[in-house]
Structure 1
Amino acid sequence: MRLRLRLFEFEDLSWFPAVVRAGMMDYLHFMISALGTYRPIVPLLAEGLRRSGQPHLLELGAGAGGGTENLLIALRAQGQPDATSTFTDLYPQPAAWAAAARRTHGLIRYEPAPVDALAVPPHLAGFRTIFSAFHHFPPAAATALLRDAVRANTGIGVFEGAGKHWAELLLAVTVLPVAQLLLTPFFRPFRLSRLVFTYLIPLIPLCTIWDGVVSVLRMYSPAELLALARAADPAGAFAWQAGKKRHWWGPQVTYLVGWPVSSAQLAANPEPLL
């Protein structure tokens, strides 16, 4: 699918009720973790950590932190025994993050204050990642986000849990809403508000359907991701790769990764991989 539309998503709106946003993030966290959505990009992420000399992930736009716990386990199996992560977001989710920190015995930490992904504070170091959220940024902001990583001389990985196909739109309006209604009572930690706004006043499922469809329509293709990277890094200080990785059961992950390289490395491998 080549179509890319700049429609709004409810979770981007500053006035959007926090309780509904949290319910949507809980669902996204559950599905990404249960389906192992980002398992295919673990080797890419491990390579990024090695090449940038960073054992620590700095997750931008973390939402409820879906899938990171499983990724850390997989990274440790990929030769990154010291892999840890810090969650950040413009709209922090400290309750969900604190639970993740407890479950991982401190391997996951979090920044309780809002963090702008376009201007990350210097005290927050690490290989930057952004999962299921890069499509929220229009081209100028997306370029600024990548440029900030280049300026900080830190590696970055952008990952979207879809391949931008029409079938994904069909899933977003059929199978996934049914799964949300069936699985919501099992989400932890338990929140009465989640049940109220799912079953009595169904704002969470309705807004999830809209945002899910719009997310696919707003996604950047690998070629567009590389164009954004080149605009953010005109001097070629980073090596960039973009493409898609297929999960064993079918779905794809679209990605862009970049890390600082020496002049010698650039001369040996001048072209990014698409």
Structure 2
Amino acid sequence: MKLRLQLFEFEDLPWFPRVVRAGMMDYLRFMISTLGTYQPIVPLLREALQATHQTQLLELCAGAGGGTEGVLRSLQATGLPAAQVTLTDLYPQPAAWQLLAARTPGLSYAPAAVDATAVPPGMPGFRTVFSAFHHFPPPLAEALLADAVRQGAGIGVFEGAGKHWLEILLAWTVLPVAQLLITPFIRPFRLSRLLLTYVLPLIPLFTLWDGTVSILRMYPPAQLLALAHRADPQGRFRWTAGKVRHWWGPQVTYLIGVPRVN
């Protein structure tokens, strides 16, 4: 599917209730972590970190931290034992992040809001964006990449889908059922999450809409490269984009930019 539609997601809207957004992010984190969605990109990320002589990851648009924990542990276990990650977001979620930091060595977070298109200079590290780059329309997506180029920070953009119609079908059939089944097991426990799932089902309904729109808004590899080259007109970075497949079928779309060595 090469079509990209710039629709809206409820979680992007400033007025959207934080309690509903947090419930949606908790579900996404649980699913991504449980399924190991981003494990296929660990070798690519490890190679990029080694190329930039980095052990520090700066995760932008972290949401509830979905996938970060497993990726960090895999990096630490496969050649980068000193790997660390700092979670950041324009809408920080310290309640969810505290749980991850408590059980994951090397994981920390920034409690203040961080704009991914203008990262404060005092926040070093190889930048990553998991499951969030599609939220940015082309001008802002380009600005996010340009900020990394301007500050000489390598960057990896990862989306946990391959942009196929089958993924939309799954979003409307299998995933809503899975959400209803797993919600009681999501931690940290929140009564509001149960009420907004089973009594007033706002979390499942908004998740259904946002999940569908996420796939339609995704940039395929060719568009990712086009954005990168516009953000880096002088060719200061080496850019690669593509898809990698998980052992059980799903794909991950990626864009990686590494500063060129002079």
Q: TM-score range by the shorter chain?
A: over 0.9
- Rounded to whole Å, the distance in 1 between the matches of 2:198 and 2:133 is 30
**TM-score of the two chains, using structure 1 as the length reference:** 0.95
Q: 1:221 is matched with which residue?
A: 220
- Rounded to whole Å, the distance in 2 between the matches of 1:43 and 1:78 is 9
Q: 1:138 is matched with which residue?
A: 137
Letter in 1 for 2:65: G
- Rounded to whole Å, the distance in 2 between the matches of 1:198 and 1:22 is 12
Q: 1:34 is matched with which residue?
A: 34
Q: 1:188 is matched with which residue?
A: 187
- CA-CA distance at 1:175 after TM superposition: 0.2
CA displacement, residues 217-241 of structure 1 (integer Å, 9 cap, x when unaligned): 0000100000000000011110000
Letter in 2 for 1:55: T
Letter in 1 for 2:243: K
Query: Is the partner of 2:226 in helix, strand or coil?
Result: helix
- CA-CA distance at 1:2 after TM superposition: 1.4
Q: 2:149 is matched with which residue?
A: 150
Query: Is the partner of 1:141 in helix, strand or coil?
Result: helix
CA displacement, residues 73-95 of structure 1 (integer Å, 9 cap, x when unaligned): 11122211110100000000000
Query: Is the partner of 1:42 in helix, strand or coil?
Result: helix
Alignment of 1:102-121 (within 5 A): 102-105=102-105, 107-121=106-120
Alignment of 1:16-95 (within 5 A): 16-95=16-95
Query: Is the partner of 1:158 in helix, strand or coil?
Result: strand
Query: Is the partner of 1:145 in helix, strand or coil?
Result: helix
- Rounded to whole Å, the distance in 2 between the matches of 1:38 and 1:241 is 17
* Residues 1:6 and 2:6 are matched in the alignment: yes
- Rounded to whole Å, the distance in 2 between the matches of 1:2 and 1:69 is 31
CA RMSD of aligned residues (A): 0.7
- CA-CA distance at 1:72 after TM superposition: 1.1
4+ aligned runs moved over 3 Å, structure 1: none
- CA-CA distance at 1:124 after TM superposition: 0.9
Query: Is the partner of 1:20 in helix, strand or coil?
Result: helix
- CA-CA distance at 1:123 after TM superposition: 1.1
Query: Is the partner of 2:167 in helix, strand or coil?
Result: helix
Query: Is the partner of 1:89 in helix, strand or coil?
Result: coil
Q: 1:201 is matched with which residue?
A: 200
CA displacement, residues 103-155 of structure 1 (integer Å, 9 cap, x when unaligned): 114x1111111100000001111000000000000000000000000011010
Letter in 1 for 2:177: V
- Rounded to whole Å, the distance in 2 between the matches of 1:35 and 1:232 is 33
- CA-CA distance at 1:71 after TM superposition: 0.7
- CA-CA distance at 1:169 after TM superposition: 0.2
Q: 1:15 is matched with which residue?
A: 15
- Rounded to whole Å, the distance in 1 between the matches of 2:108 and 2:66 is 14
CA displacement, residues 148-179 of structure 1 (integer Å, 9 cap, x when unaligned): 00011010000000000000000001100000
Gaps of 5+ in 1: 264-274
- Rounded to whole Å, the distance in 2 between the matches of 1:79 and 1:159 is 21
- CA-CA distance at 1:68 after TM superposition: 1.1
Query: Is the partner of 1:22 in helix, strand or coil?
Result: helix
- Rounded to whole Å, the distance in 2 between the matches of 1:246 and 1:161 is 10
Query: Is the partner of 2:243 in helix, strand or coil?
Result: strand
Letter in 2 for 1:45: L
- Rounded to whole Å, the distance in 2 between the matches of 1:4 and 1:69 is 30
- Rounded to whole Å, the distance in 2 between the matches of 1:133 and 1:70 is 17
Query: Is the partner of 2:91 in helix, strand or coil?
Result: coil
- Rounded to whole Å, the distance in 2 between the matches of 1:49 and 1:63 is 22
Letter in 1 for 2:203: I
Letter in 1 for 2:194: L
Q: 2:257 is matched with which residue?
A: 258
- CA-CA distance at 1:261 after TM superposition: 1.0
Q: 1:179 is matched with which residue?
A: 178
Q: 1:210 is matched with which residue?
A: 209
- Rounded to whole Å, the distance in 1 between the matches of 2:21 and 2:52 is 34
Letter in 2 for 1:40: P
